[in-house]
Chain A
Amino acid sequence: MSLYAIQTEIMAMEKKRRLYSMAGIVLIAAVLISGYGLANDLNSGGFLTGMQQFFDYPSEIVKEAWAAGFSFFLVMGRFVPALVETLNIAGAASIVGGTLAVVLAFLGSANLGVKPPVVVTIVRRIMDIMRAFPELIIALFLIFILGSSPVPAMIAVAIHTAGALGKLFSEVNENADADPVEGLASCGATWLQRMRYGVLPQVLPNYLSYFMLRFEINVRASAILGFVGAGGIGMELRRTIGWGKGAGDETAALFMLLILSIFVIDQLSSFIRRRLVTGRDPE
């Protein structure tokens, strides 16, 4: 092939690629413009009026919180049990879901010699379904049967966690080094022993890192589910917001607690994750 032919071919490919990019950009722009137009029409309050009112609510609750003075901190203290409940929902859901995820991940990894191989496919589909089910639906359904309580939210979040972490964990498993497993197999180790001594030590740091990230997400999810009747800080928020004017200091206190705890968990989890990733190398 002559140089010229190569050049024209490359130019043609480049042209095609740019055409695709342009088409993509035009499509995204069209979606955005028409979408916002449609959304604005469907919304009960328009964009412009909304923008003017945007700071009304935050400033209202800040003002009320300011007026409360020092007692604002007492209000915050009063809501600590609600915060603990939300954190407990997230914590229990992370542990239950995470444990389930480990089991699912080992059964759903293609490289670990799970027999028969069809188990891998089935477990993967199960994880897909667990992930796809919106937490809200499971929570609402269980609240209907069990009554208003933190447990429905815990179960809902745990199911989603099992699916989401299971997928990530199985990806970690599939990247694990096969040599230790083969070595153990040659010593006559059973499947469980091979997993425990050959795979688990390799994947555990990554598991923990994903687990921390998930815990943070679950705290947010538990707070939201509280709003539909699962208890904790979300439930308190619905109560104070439902009261409208007058409960601004309480709302502000709840916002403050939620933001603070998310900030602390965010920092803590990124610190631990950094430690896990860097701490592994020296060994």
Chain B
Amino acid sequence: MASSTLAIQPPAPISGSLAVFSRLRRSSLMIMAGTGLMVLYLLYTFISFDLWHLISRSQPQRAVLLATDAVAHKVHITKNIRGAGRLSIAVEGERTATYETPPGWVTVSDDLTRVDLAQGYRVDIYDTHVIFQIPDIGPVHVRITDAGIKTTLPKGVDPPDWLRATSAKFDARPTLGRRVQVSKARIEVHRYFMGWENFFFPFRSELTAYSPGQLFALAFSDQRIDPDMPNWRLMFTTFWKNPGWQHKQVFVALLETFLMAILGTLTAALVGLPLAVLAAANFTPAQALRFVVRRVFDFLRGIDMLIWSLIFIRAFGLGPLTGALAIAFTDTGSLGKLFSEALEGVNNKQMEGVHATGANRLQFYRFGVIPQIIPVFVSQTLYYLEANVRSATIIGALGAGGIGLMLVEAMNTQRHWENVFYLILLTISLVMVMDTVSAKVRSRLIHGRSGT
């Protein structure tokens, strides 16, 4: 009897493995349930964000526009019909960048303006009559009449989708780099060129005409262009004050953002450390004081950088000081909390040893405590510095100034995408340089310490 019961009992190892299986099944079930909940939540958020409507409303052509304008510039050839019928050729249509004599690809005679758009594309502008030569299609005639714009395509050609012709407006863009628009008020031809226009020197400057090699030679030449200053200084000031790119203002904005991050982080670290001593249980026996300091940390952190920035922007106005203080206030809380945790983890033996030598209070901290927390202190401060370079761009955008505000303003004007692109590149470079430098310093610090 007893032996038969024994026989039907499963051997011990199998029962053990069954328990493993059931635990595994439970954990898989939990993971599945968790995943399911997350998917449901995502569905809910996408519905509440109105994602489908958003996608249907989105304007992907804006991305194309931004991408083209970011790396290319265009020259406008504009003929105003009303008024004197004047013709103007200008980079980006800016009055300050108007060609005095037409460039080689535009020929102007009494009754005909011929714009060569390369690769067989050509626009002939007679008084109020435009002939757009398009390869594979042939000439498209556009006439401005009192009844409206009259477009005539060659026989047997269906209007392509890049061409819109109504009685109010003719708009054709056969390729990204060529565009012809005709309305009752004006005829406008755009031709795109790669590169940023007048990045170094403004259009009007005589320096624009030189090649890089010539400029290099000119910089050290004794023949002054401007008798008042040496050529290299003329070049620098012309570059520095280039109105289209505002190199000086951009540089100041970058400096401001950098200042916000570095001042804010350093201040937070240096204020946070002594406060952290007051919040650490093994250094401050008074529980009430500890409680108060910890709540101060929670308060500073909890208010959030957004609110601190808004308050400081109100009080201090635009500028790096505002951003630095907003960062300092928030991060004193975060760093203070981290430091106090690090302080609570320090080794007592070293402190006792220093104490036993009869060290005074200052020496006690200097030799007993600080060497132990310096790695945490430096590496955390550097981590926060990296994050704060990004934060500083955002605080700037809220109204504190710096590169963030410049970027928001450049985007809001919805012109000069090349400037926006340039600012984006600079911001990312600043962030990446800070990341790299700080990562280098941190790894040096850790390896340097483990090495000795």
- Mark the stretch among B79-87, B160-168, B313-321 that contacts chain A: B313-321
Chain A residues near B393: list those with CB within 8 A.
Answer: 134, 136-137
Chain B residues near A241: list those with CB within 8 A.
Answer: 310
Quick one: which of A45, A140, A145 contacts B317, CB cutoff 8 A? A45
At the interface, yes or no: B394 with Cβ under 8 Å from chain A?
Answer: yes
Q: List 27 A-B contacts (CB under 8 A).
A: A32-B267, A36-B263, A39-B256, A39-B263, A42-B320, A43-B318, A44-B316, A44-B319, A45-B315, A47-B321, A50-B317, A57-B311, A89-B45, A95-B41, A96-B42, A134-B427, A134-B431, A135-B390, A136-B397, A136-B404, A145-B60, A151-B51, A224-B398, A237-B310, A255-B307, A259-B307, A263-B298
A88 & B48 in contact (Cβ 8 Å cutoff): yes
Chain B residues near A77: list those with CB within 8 A.
Answer: none
Q: How far is the CB of B365 from chain A (nearest CB, A)?
A: 14
Q: How far is the CB of A125 from chain B (nearest CB, A)?
A: 12
Chain A residues near B376: list those with CB within 8 A.
Answer: none
Q: How far is the CB of A151 from chain B (nearest CB, A)?
A: 5
In the complex, the chain B residue whose C-beta lies closest to that of A17 is B452
Within 8 A of A (CB), among B48-87: 48-51, 54-55, 57-60, 62-63, 66
Known: A35-B262, A40-B321, A50-B315. A234 touches B54 (CB 8 A): no
A36 & B321 in contact (Cβ 8 Å cutoff): yes
At the interface, yes or no: B428 with Cβ under 8 Å from chain A?
Answer: yes
CA distance A259 to B393 in the complex (A): 22
Q: How far is the CB of A25 from chain B (nearest CB, A)?
A: 10
Chain B residues near A131: list those with CB within 8 A.
Answer: 435
Chain B residues near A132: list those with CB within 8 A.
Answer: 428, 431-432, 435
B304 & A140 in contact (Cβ 8 Å cutoff): no
Chain B residues near A237: list those with CB within 8 A.
Answer: 306, 310
B307 & A85 in contact (Cβ 8 Å cutoff): no
At the interface, yes or no: B305 with Cβ under 8 Å from chain A?
Answer: yes
- Could you mark each residue 261-283 of chain A with 1 if its beta carbon is under 8 Å from any beta carbon of chain B, else 0? 01100100000000000000000
In the complex, the chain A residue whose C-beta lies closest to that of B46 is A92
CA distance A234 to B263 in the complex (A): 26
At the interface, yes or no: A56 with Cβ under 8 Å from chain B?
Answer: yes
A147 & B58 in contact (Cβ 8 Å cutoff): yes
B48 & A85 in contact (Cβ 8 Å cutoff): yes
A43 & B49 in contact (Cβ 8 Å cutoff): no
Given A40-B321, A151-B54, A223-B306, 5 more A-B residue pairs with CB atoms under 8 Å apart are A43-B319, A56-B314, A136-B390, A224-B305, A259-B302
In the complex, the chain B residue whose C-beta lies closest to that of A241 is B310
Q: How far is the CB of A27 from chain B (nearest CB, A)?
A: 11
Chain A residues near B292: list those with CB within 8 A.
Answer: none
B304 & A258 in contact (Cβ 8 Å cutoff): yes
CA distance A89 to B41 in the complex (A): 11
Within 8 A of A (CB), among B11-69: 24, 27, 31, 38, 41-42, 44-46, 48-51, 54-55, 57-60, 62-63, 66
In the complex, the chain A residue whose C-beta lies closest to that of B424 is A137
Quick one: which of B46, B266, B404, B427 contacts A32, CB cutoff 8 A? B266
In the complex, the chain B residue whose C-beta lies closest to that of A13 is B452
B304 & A43 in contact (Cβ 8 Å cutoff): no
Taking residues whose C-beta sits less than 8 angstroms from the other chain, chain B's interface range is 35 or more
In the complex, the chain A residue whose C-beta lies closest to that of B59 is A145
B411 & A144 in contact (Cβ 8 Å cutoff): yes
Quick one: which of B262, B317, B407, B431 contacts A43, CB cutoff 8 A? B317
At the interface, yes or no: A38 with Cβ under 8 Å from chain B?
Answer: yes
A42 & B306 in contact (Cβ 8 Å cutoff): no
At the interface, yes or no: A108 with Cβ under 8 Å from chain B?
Answer: no
Quick one: which of A31, A89, A134 contacts B266, CB cutoff 8 A? A31
B54 & A147 in contact (Cβ 8 Å cutoff): yes
Chain A residues near B219: list those with CB within 8 A.
Answer: none
Chain A residues near B301: list those with CB within 8 A.
Answer: 266
**Interface residues contributed by chain A, number (CB under 8 Å):** 65
Known: A42-B320, A50-B317. A140 touches B408 (CB 8 A): yes
Within 8 A of B (CB), among A45-69: 45-47, 50-51, 53-54, 56-58
At the interface, yes or no: B130 with Cβ under 8 Å from chain A?
Answer: no
B45 & A92 in contact (Cβ 8 Å cutoff): yes
CA distance A75 to B241 in the complex (A): 50
Known: A85-B48, A228-B408. A32 touches B263 (CB 8 A): yes
Most buried by B among A53, A128, A149: A149
At the interface, yes or no: A220 with Cβ under 8 Å from chain B?
Answer: yes
Q: How far is the CB of B282 from chain A (nearest CB, A)?
A: 20
The 9 closest A-B pairs by CB, nearest first: A43-B319, A45-B317, A44-B317, A50-B316, A43-B321, A57-B314, A39-B320, A92-B45, A39-B321
B394 & A136 in contact (Cβ 8 Å cutoff): yes
In the complex, the chain A residue whose C-beta lies closest to that of B374 is A21
Within 8 A of B (CB), among A117-161: 128, 131-137, 140-141, 144-147, 149-151, 154
In the complex, the chain B residue whose C-beta lies closest to that of A154 is B49
Most buried by B among A91, A128, A224: A224
Chain A residues near B390: list those with CB within 8 A.
Answer: 134-136
At the interface, yes or no: A210 with Cβ under 8 Å from chain B?
Answer: no
At the interface, yes or no: A79 with Cβ under 8 Å from chain B?
Answer: no
At the interface, yes or no: A183 with Cβ under 8 Å from chain B?
Answer: no
Known: A43-B317, A151-B54. A234 touches B306 (CB 8 A): yes
B306 & A39 in contact (Cβ 8 Å cutoff): no
A53 & B314 in contact (Cβ 8 Å cutoff): yes
A220 & B304 in contact (Cβ 8 Å cutoff): yes
B428 & A42 in contact (Cβ 8 Å cutoff): no
CA distance A51 to B324 in the complex (A): 14
A227 & B398 in contact (Cβ 8 Å cutoff): yes
Known: A39-B263, A44-B318. A137 touches B407 (CB 8 A): yes
CA distance A91 to B54 in the complex (A): 19
